[in-house]
Structure 1
Amino acid sequence: MIERVRLYRATTTNADAEELAAWLRDRLDAAAGGEPPPAVTVEDRFLDEGPVDELATAFAEARVLSPYDRETGNTMLGIVRYEQRALEHPEREGGVLYDGQQIQRVLNGQLPATEASLDTVHVILLDRALGTWGDHDGRWHKRVNVLGHPTLLSVPGLYEAPAKPEAYYKAKQKHAMLSGDSPPREVLENQIDGDFLVEDDPRTTDALKGYVLQAVHYASTGTAFCEDEQCRLYNAHYHEDLVAAQLQGTEFCATHAERYG
């Protein structure tokens, strides 16, 4: 039985942890059916609490080196020092993809001993891009969330992981054919009339609500996702589907509306 949910801030993103926690409390109140719901608290940035040298080495070891190479890690001195600076000054970090499951294992070892059992759900908002390896196609895939203990939510993944509308990629290809190089991402985002999320999108907090609930739902039921594309628990692989599930229409399918209100 879940007794507590700890939601950790990502201070360099525009994800509002307090708003996420308030929304989650309402959902868990509805699911409790009159019983005391799990206590939901907002905590400081998780990466501020660990030993910097150890975490820096762990992040260096979890670096994805190539989209098609399963092996990870570059622990050269310069890379480790970069990771140290990124931990101490997270606003300087960016452009690196990490093995999400490897980072999850490392952060599991950093959980407080008194709250390491499964009756506490830890949801860590991160300002890092995370991926998982796809055995089916032999390449890395960016992810919004890596479910488990703790659950990791990648705020950059919200913008980068789901595939964008087809028009986005056609415009990118056209620009490359005409100029010989790829246009800056922000140029394409301004050109394409498509409904997708971009970096620092004002809809970030609303779009993350369903992902926070997925972490708790998974811990409660062993099932994370819903097959209904209009439900907050749907696992969207395309931006259009993410927007539909998290930002449009009803919040839940009939089954999950009965549970979460």
Structure 2
Amino acid sequence: MVDSVILYRAPSTVVETDELGDWLESRIEGSVTVRDRFLDVHGNDELAERFAQVRVRSPHDRETGNTMLGTVRYEERALEDPEREGGVLYDGVQIQRALNAALPADERGLETLHLPILDRAIGTWGSHDGRWHKRVNVLGQPALVSVPGLYEAPAKPESYYKEQQRHAFLSGDTPPREVLENQVDGEFLIEDDPRTTDALKGYALQAYHYLETGEAFCDREGCRLFNAHYHEDLIDAQLREPLFCPDHDRVYGDS
């Protein structure tokens, strides 16, 4: 049984971690504590090289890693100053293992869920289609929640990709993301979206729910425990009423 959750801040993002923690504590049986950034609290000299080892090389290359000195130095700088990190995708499962190993031995038990909010993009390998897929979260211990993943992992409306192709056809290059976000109608979250904290509440609860019950996600669209693959579904699940399907409302709802 999970009797406590430790949330870790991501100070380089817009996430209000204290608000996220208060919401989560109001839904679960255990207590929720907020700590500073995981990599500051539990960082060690090995993490920079571990991060370099699990960098995704290309979308269709299963092998990861680049431990050349320059890459390790980059990771060292990113650990010290997270504002300098960006544009890199990491193997989420391997990051999870690295962060688990960084936990003190007496904090690795499953009665306490560690939940770092990350300012890095994480992915998992899809053996069914031979490519990497960005993720919002990776469940387990610790459970990872990626803020860039919230914006980038779910597919955007079809009109977004049509405009992207049109721009590429006319100009020969891919338009900046900001240009597309301003030109395309449709509902999707963008970087530093003011709805970020609200949208991540369900993903934090998914992490608790998995460790508590062994159930990964809810298969009912519109439930905060639903694993949305499209931005429209994400918004429907995380930002609209009702909060939960009937089954999960009995566990996590207000009634």
Q: Above 0.5 in TM-score?
A: yes
Partner secondary structure for residue 182 of structure 1: coil
Distance 2:71 2:178 in 1: 28
Aligned CA distance change for structure 1 residues 258 and 204 (closer, same or farther; 3 Å): same
Aligned-pair identity (%): 69
- CA shift, 1:228, in A, is 1.1
Matched, 1:236 2:228: yes
Aligned residues: CA RMSD: 0.8
> What amino acid is aligned across from residue 4 of structure 1 in structure 2?
S
- CA shift, 1:51, in A, is 4.3
Partner secondary structure for residue 109 of structure 2: coil
> What amino acid is aligned across from residue 116 of structure 2 in structure 1?
I
- CA shift, 1:6, in A, is 0.5
- CA shift, 1:251, in A, is 0.3
Query: Which residue does the alignment assign to 1:74?
Result: 66
| Aligned 1:1-261 pairs, distance under 5 A | 1-28=1-28, 37-261=29-253
The answer as to whether partners of 2:137 and 2:145 remain within 8 angstroms in 1 is yes
| CA distances 1:96-152 after superposition (whole Å, capped 9, x unpaired) | 000000010000011122221110111110000000000000000000000001000
Structure 1 unmatched ranges of 5 or more: 29-36
Distance 2:44 2:59 in 1: 27
| CA distances 1:13-64 after superposition (whole Å, capped 9, x unpaired) | 0111101111011111xxxxxxxx3111001100013445311100000100
Deviates more, 1:159-168 or 1:107-116: 107-116
| CA distances 1:129-185 after superposition (whole Å, capped 9, x unpaired) | 000000000000000000001000000000000000000000000001111111100
The answer as to whether partners of 2:9 and 2:116 remain within 8 angstroms in 1 is yes
TM-score (norm 1): 0.95
Distance 2:172 2:5 in 1: 50
Distance 1:220 1:82 in 2: 37
Distance 1:43 1:50 in 2: 11
TM-score (norm 2): 0.98
Distance 2:42 2:216 in 1: 28
Equivalences, count: 253
